[in-house]
Structure 1
Amino acid sequence: MFAEVALGEEQRAEAGRFGLHPALFDAALHMAGVGPEDEEPGPARLPFAWTGVSLYATGATELRVRLSPSGAEGISVLLADTDGVPVASVDALVGRPVAAEQLTASSQLTKDSLFTVEWDRVPTEGMQGAASQVQWAMVGSDDLGLTATLEAAGQDVVSGPELATLAGSPDVVLVTCASESDSGAQDLPSATRHLAHRALRVVREWLGEERFAGSRLVVVTRGAVAAV
């Protein structure tokens, strides 16, 4: 089977972000479900096993597609640009049949997910006296102004550029992981990776220091999840 597929105008500008734009690749694979008009329709098939996947060029916005049988149940895929230059190929793609009821059941399960976000209100009774006994520490830059807030509440806060530079074992150690602007990166994906790597590095160092066994590490962020 031969076909031609192309990205919509609104998607062409972002084609360079991908090795092969997922919408373009998806459109090419949809042709595998097209058959003769007199052919009895069967159950939907979802991609299951991929063999011999190769990418030869990036940034394509239009493709010429060739699909042909591969083995008893698979198809081979050859994708080329409008000049016939190869873009990508798949030696064999095998699909597994799935009933419509299975797809419906899957969507229902996601609505009853075990993963939820809950905000618990912390009781304030009796906390003022306990707070005066807390030893606070700030690691790295204080992007959110936490030190000033704590000091205004009468708390003493020590600080250090890294966990290793902190003296003793503070009760609470604060680390900010606030936004892409705090990371110094120029774009959101790079900023996200930078902040995630920073948080991971701090957690690894924390777990490797036995003197923090009785302390609490608090990673403070903003704008991550709306508190509703």
Structure 2
Amino acid sequence: MELAEGDGCLLTGRLSLRTHPWLAGHAVGGVVLLPGTAFAELALHAGESVGCDHVDELTLHTPLVIPEVGDVTLQVAIAAPDESGRRMMTIHSRGEGGSGGADASASAWTRHAAGVLSPAKDDDTASYELLAGPWPPVGATPVDLNTAYDQMADAGFAYGLAFQGLRAAWRYGDDILVEARLPEEVSGDAAAYGLHPALLDAALQGTGLLSVAGPGTPVVPHVWNGLRFRTHGAVSVRACLSTLGATGAAVCVRITDDTGVPVASVDRLELRPVDMGQLRAVSVSAGRRGSLYAVQWAEVGPVPVCGQAWAWHEDVGESGGGPVPGVVVLRCPDAGADGGGGGGVGEVVGGVLGVVQGWLGLERFAGSRLVVVTRGAVVAGPEDGPVDVVGAAVWGWCGRRRLSIRTGLSSSTWTPTSTAALTPMPATRPVWGLVWMVGVWLRWWRVVSRSWRCVVSGCWPHA
């Protein structure tokens, strides 16, 4: 987006585990973070849009927490060029649709990174001879990686499959040589990036072998200097990691594809240890919008939920005179069923309302519980599809009316296995939403008086 005044530029976008599920594989200290390599990709992509495909400097300030549910809005702001063509840039984010329930417009913007972009330099002196020659080079000593990811997990890095791309490593003098390849799950996305962040991250995982911050100390990128991509869409790479300075807290990075063609270079990459306490504090602030409380969904195994007889509501009926079991299940139609669903929001909510009113008005149901089952009414995880508006309306109405004396929660498909018990089977999709247990254990006069007060005062919602 070009600005109305000046020669600056603003790029915007959104991130979430729904649109970029591979990000879930980058968890540090139990918190899903946008990897530092993704910030590098963002900076270079933004720079290329204004003719600056070289990152002179990129400093990462604050971790960007990816929430389990909801989106993160990104802004990459690029200033007007100075006399030498260099441009200042910043990367900000703001959460939306998080579990904290705060209005997105009230969320403050957080600055995560700032840097300087410039046009490509002609005097590039990066050397790739070691990576372009015989591989691995003569004299390189193999490093055992059989337990590498287990050791990283013990140090606080829980890498998912997308980030487990480190295939081999060698010691060559004071340098570390690595081979990395994108797993099949994400290799199809390689062409969309200059260098896929998961692949670049896998190549940089070799820094753990350099002990730049001491044995067992997790480190992350902090300051990038002289970053440039030379080709796009690589799936398999070779990398040479060389320590810089006496402390070894920085490395020089050279990357080629598996044929020796240059892919990327970083003149200097400073690393820093991870402060797990600070990371958890950032997670609470960013993921929960400042609240100490949030809704978390837990998957439930196949356990019986009741030990008494049950029946479908349509089998029992309201006008029949037969016995009523202890549990009666009302299935709520969803918008996705049969393409057209079981009716509009108003029709379905009105139907459920009529059933509940009838239930409270008949004495034959006094000893039973009504279970209203919705499907897809809420998003229980990042892999879930869009919310079913019909089910969500019923789910919300039941919650507002507080008709339930006892509530049950399930993320499984409810399937009857006998006439004596109602047992959830292993989780399948689509997810069954919240199961509202509508109890009438109160004495009849309290139920009647409550229903009568709601009707008289006009509290019943209308579609």
TM superposition score normalised by structure 1: 0.46
The structure with the greater share of residues assigned to helix is 1
Bigger radius of gyration, 1 or 2?
A: 2
TM superposition score normalised by structure 2: 0.23
